[in-house]
Chain A
């Protein structure tokens, strides 16, 4: 199936050229809110039937048990200039029109270049061996399935569910207890973040603010 036929979400308002623009799907992880409950990880596994050992999203905690303890959920960030897409020798990774970095599992040769390129550790491989055979890569699909007929058995087996085609948000963001993990069109996500930052005042919870400008207001 060609990429153009993928079901993608569009923005409501008309764009500059007077025609509807595709949404630009993004994740945002609010480190001032993530409590490491693991809800996103479980929802992802349940939704997409992800096998043990593969983490399409994981919550990382730094400074555990000490002041400054911070959690951050890390799925595939679906980068605009995605290093994985740039290095993939067989173009198994590609951008959908809505910005989601999609994967064609039948093209993937399991070389692992994307694993080295990705700053977030998103690409997952089902096996490891002394001679480098890793199997076909697996990663967060933004709950948008893959390049197959939407809702087909084949899509479900290879990639998991396709909530985007159903008009829903990814499972992880849908269940987030504290709304730390937000997903959706970049404009909507930016609105939510802007409101939170404004409410929080100076620094707005930006990572490293205290170190750069000192504590307190």
Chain B
């Protein structure tokens, strides 16, 4: 997300899944939609059938998606930057780039070309393992078949230079001129229900809701929305510095428990941890997570199921499980990968002792003594909450609507104002009038609206923006240029405003800066004025090849921390060590050791399977799903299996480098012999939990709550490695060795 935001302005998928029906080429890189986004395959396969779209699957693994591709390219895990640069190198050499687009709507192409020159096809072939002929085939297919889309997911982001990888995907689309048009775009598929919504409302530790950051301006803006004094918010923190300092991330919070407090970006260690619908078996270096869970004073796990978190640590007390209601037991709205808001009705009242998330939150706020401030905002209080909330299982629908109205009122930077509960409920009733290809409503009271009012949906009259950065339609109908986030001029003095003639029709026919105060004027006056004058409120800027304000302004290939190529580590090393990043030290070069590969010769990559999701606490409690995929396994090429004396169904140990600990991390898993992986790579699915280093933890579950399937967690053996910008975990590339059990 940070990669996208630093190129285009918004950290979100630019087009939508239905729009893939308009694509003529589809590059799926670092993602397996047939397993992880099965419904999206409907659109991908329709494009293949009706447009003869060329599908290119780039992956270390021949996935179920690859089976549907016109071209499968096997790439070494973690070499995406080099691969894409190789494509761009060929495209530029042949003159296939969209010169008009590059000239009118981008910044920094000259220095970008200089960087690209280093990645000639032969060099790229050596780094990625992809033959030159295949690179040429893919480059030509993408150039010949426009518009085309590039789709990725965690295979692109879960690397120590993931932000760089994501930015190169964007750059490929900029070079091809595929941005801001139906059938084009950079379509990153988000992996969970409402994960886009969670990011939007400030799930990350570096921002308040709506990507305002956590500086004083941001706090003051939200203080106004919440109708609480800024000073009161400040008084909740130790001091102003801590108030404005990004916190720990989900990727490395446990170091805040384990490391000496002198090494941390705060005075004391973390003493308590609260999980709210998050699993521990999806966290890298789970053996360290386990140690942290044993050291903290308090663990609270809010979940409908007894998760891996509850059984992982060896401790007898201090773990509290709060039974949360599922999404079917509460009214809520979600934002999916398309940036679509959807209203969801409650199906049944919370069963058994389960309570809705909001009931748990308000009850906690009450006990902490700030219930009034928590449930209050500039529009009044949340309605429908009883005076005494102790033990109350759910509030009325009105409460959820009021929460959404609060987001509508405050998250103006990304245009949440228009997605009101009234409009979402009306769309739900009129779902049948929306076109499957454009998501646009035809007739009825929702006429002209886009399904889900995808943000930015500037006002309650705006139809939403299904395709970002599309400048061939007026701003009032969802048109916009690239976001003018970095002012009118770059530090080097070059222009950052779009060129003359490149702007949404109906307004100034050139680039322009953002409307003053559009994100903070709570009356919506600024936004409305911009729209009335035919301008996009956030301006009309340029997409950046050169992101001067982040590490690697031009993305460069960097070998994974655990690389199988000592020779390439010398030429393409990882970053220098970072003293503090999200409050913890983040070493790079000192962790990248050339001789790991001697002891650990195989590349290890991880991923999801279709039956399960994330930590799969829910799915492994479903007998039907478990029947389809009952056991944890490792995918291994026949040659690898036979060289290790293993047969299909045998047990083996997977062991990974002892980078943070004295001994190797290890798990015992069953061998699945398959040609999905090449002879240099093994693959582990991530979903199992309840077994640790060969020992079952089943006895630790409360009576009657052991899932139908337990197994070793892949993340017990994933190793150190985190993104330079976002701290995303590097679970897609490490090294391992196989030992017969």
Contacts and interface: CB of A to CB of B under 8 A. Distances in A.
A67 interface: yes
Interface string A42-75: 1001100000100000000000111111110000
A140 B34 CA distance: 25
A101 to B, nearest CB: 24
A40 to B, nearest CB: 11
A39 B37 CA distance: 12
Contact of A37 (B35, B49, B67, B677): B35
A37 B34 contact: yes
Contact of B624 (A32, A42, A196): A42
A52 to B, nearest CB: 5
Contacts of B38: 35, 37, 39, 177-178
Interface string B234-264: 0000000000000000000000000000000
A41 B626 CA distance: 12
B675 A38 contact: no
Given A42-B625, A42-B628, A65 B49 contact: no
Nearest to B51: A199
Contact of B675 (A36, A42, A66, A179): A66
Interface string A140-182: 0000000000000000000000000000000000000111000
A200 interface: yes
B365 interface: no
B506 interface: no
Contact of B50 (A64, A65, A179, A199): A199
A178 B42 contact: yes
Report, nearest first, the 4 A-B pairs whose CB atoms are least far apart: A65-B676, A69-B67, A177-B38, A35-B34
A36 B610 contact: yes
B611 A38 contact: yes
B628 A35 contact: no
Interface string B611-639: 10000000000111101100000000000
Given A35-B64, A42-B628, A178 B41 contact: yes
A109 B680 CA distance: 54
A96 interface: no
Interface string B34-62: 11001101100100011010000000001
B45 A178 contact: yes
A95 interface: no
A186 B266 CA distance: 69
A196 B610 contact: no
Contacts of B610: 36-38
A110 B104 CA distance: 75
Contacts of A32: 45, 49
A3 B627 CA distance: 35
A68 B675 CA distance: 13
A28 to B, nearest CB: 15
A38 B66 CA distance: 18
A178 B611 CA distance: 16
Given A42-B624, A65-B675, A67-B72, A36 B42 contact: no
A33 interface: yes
Contacts of B628: 38, 41-42
B382 interface: no
Contacts of A33: 41, 45
Interface of B: 34-35, 38-39, 41-42, 45, 49-50, 52, 62, 64-68, 72, 610-611, 622-625, 627-628, 674-677
Given A38-B611, A70-B67, A196 B49 contact: yes
Nearest to A179: B42
Interface in A118-133: none
B62 A36 contact: no
A199 B52 CA distance: 9
Contacts of A196: 49
Contacts of B62: 65-67, 69
Nearest to B61: A65
Given A42-B624, A179-B42, A200 B72 contact: no
Contacts of B49: 32, 196, 199-200
Nearest to A58: B628
B103 to A, nearest CB: 37
A35 B67 CA distance: 9
Nearest to B623: A52
Contact of B41 (A46, A66, A70, A177): A177
A199 B674 CA distance: 34
17 contacts: A33-B41, A35-B64, A36-B610, A42-B625, A45-B623, A45-B624, A52-B627, A64-B675, A64-B676, A67-B67, A67-B72, A69-B66, A70-B67, A177-B41, A177-B42, A179-B42, A196-B49
Contacts, number: 70
A178 B628 CA distance: 19
Given A52-B623, A66-B675, A71-B64, 7 more contacts: A32-B49, A38-B628, A41-B624, A45-B627, A65-B62, A65-B676, A199-B49
A13 to B, nearest CB: 24
A103 B545 CA distance: 66
Nearest to B673: A65
Nearest to B611: A38
B675 A35 contact: no
A41 B64 CA distance: 17
A69 B717 CA distance: 30
A38 B49 CA distance: 22
Contacts of A177: 38-39, 41-42
A88 B68 CA distance: 40
Contacts of B68: 35
A200 B48 CA distance: 8
A133 B66 CA distance: 43
Given A65-B674, A178-B41, A36 B64 contact: yes
A68 B72 CA distance: 11
A71 B38 CA distance: 14
A52 B65 CA distance: 28
A36 B45 contact: no
Nearest to A205: B49
**Which of B50, B65, B68, B622 is packed against the most chain A CB atoms within 10 Å?**
B68
Nearest to A217: B52
A111 B34 CA distance: 40
B447 to A, nearest CB: 28
Contacts of B52: 201
B625 to A, nearest CB: 6
Nearest to A52: B627
A177 B38 CA distance: 6
A37 B39 CA distance: 10
Contacts of A39: 38
A64 B674 contact: yes
Contacts of B42: 177-179
Contacts of B50: 199
B452 to A, nearest CB: 19
Contacts of B67: 67-71
A39 B624 CA distance: 10
A35 B40 CA distance: 11
A178 B17 CA distance: 13
B676 A35 contact: no
Contacts of B677: 65
A37 B67 CA distance: 13
A16 B621 CA distance: 53
B718 to A, nearest CB: 23
Contacts of A69: 62, 64, 66-67
Contacts of A71: 64, 67
A40 B676 CA distance: 24
Nearest to A63: B67
Contact of A46 (B34, B66, B624): B624
Interface string A172-208: 0000011100000000000000001001110000000
